[in-house]
Structures are given as C-alpha cells and as structure tokens.
C-alpha cells in the first residue's frame, strides 16, 4: 500500500448474515466512495444510500465524511419495529423486561 492509500472496511449486517469488505481507497476518500468501491451495493440491492443511514464505528456520519486509515463504515438498515412502541406494548401486556433487553423469566 502506498502512502496515498488507506485501508477501510465497509460493513452491512442482516439478521442472519454479516458482510465486512476490506477496501483500499485513496487518502481523503469519502465514505460514499468507499461504499461504492466495495461493491457491496451489487450484492445487496436493498441498500439505497439516499435512505440507509451510515456510521463509522457506530457513530452516525454523512456520506461525504473523509475517511481515515482503518475506519469501518457501517451501513444501517431501517428498524423493523419502533423500540419505544415495543416497550409500550410490553408494559401494556404486563411483561417485565430483564436487564439486557430480553423478557424476564421466573427461573432463578
């Protein structure tokens, strides 16, 4: 790798599948350029950069964000259910949440 290039990763995860693609891009490349260079959009047609949010190491960012060496760009999927509504429904159903987000059990 020459000094004008950096290595980054582009990640996309589905409920039962995860893909992380290492990509070599020019220093100063944007997150969008790395996503396009990764070819990940060819494999997952549902990715639409006008709709899907992205982040770098879990922090939301914009497509024009310049990258640093070893950044991981994550492409986020839309939520299936609104977490606030799920919690409200659990309360309405009388379910108790345990620490960590799952349903509490009576096993002790």
108 vs 73, higher pLDDT: 73
Per the document, the length of the chain is: 108
The pLDDT of 43-61, averaged and rounded, is: 95
Residue corresponding to tokens 């990940």: 40
Assign 34 to helix, strand or coil.
helix
Q: Is the pLDDT of residue 96 over 70?
A: no
User: Where residue 101 falls among pLDDT bands split at 50, 70, 90?
Assistant: low
Cα distance between residue 83 and residue 89, in whole Å: 10
Q: Is the pLDDT of residue 106 over 80?
A: no
Domain coordinates of the chain in residue numbers?
A: 5-75
**2, 10, 34, 98 from 24: Cα distances, Å:** 10, 11, 8, 43
44, 69 Cβ separation under 8 angstroms: no
What pLDDT does 15 receive?
Answer: 87
Could you tell me the fold of the domain covering 5-75? Ubiquitin-like (UB roll) (3.10.20)
User: Shortest CA distance to 35 belongs to which of 49, 15, 18, 19?
Assistant: 49
């Amino acid at each position: 790798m020459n000094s004008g290039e950096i290595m980054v990763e582009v990640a996309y995860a589905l409920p039962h599948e995860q893909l992380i693609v290492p990509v070599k891009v020019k220093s100063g490349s944007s997150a969008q350029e790395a996503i396009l260079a990764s070819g990940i959009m060819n494999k997952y047609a549902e990715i639409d950069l006008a709709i899907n949010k992205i982040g770098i190491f879990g922090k939301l960012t914009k497509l024009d964000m310049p990258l640093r060496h070893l950044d991981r760009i994550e492409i986020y999927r839309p939520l299936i259910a609104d977490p606030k509504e799920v919690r409200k429904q659990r309360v309405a159903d009388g379910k108790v949440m345990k620490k960590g987000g799952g349903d509490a059990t009576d096993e002790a």
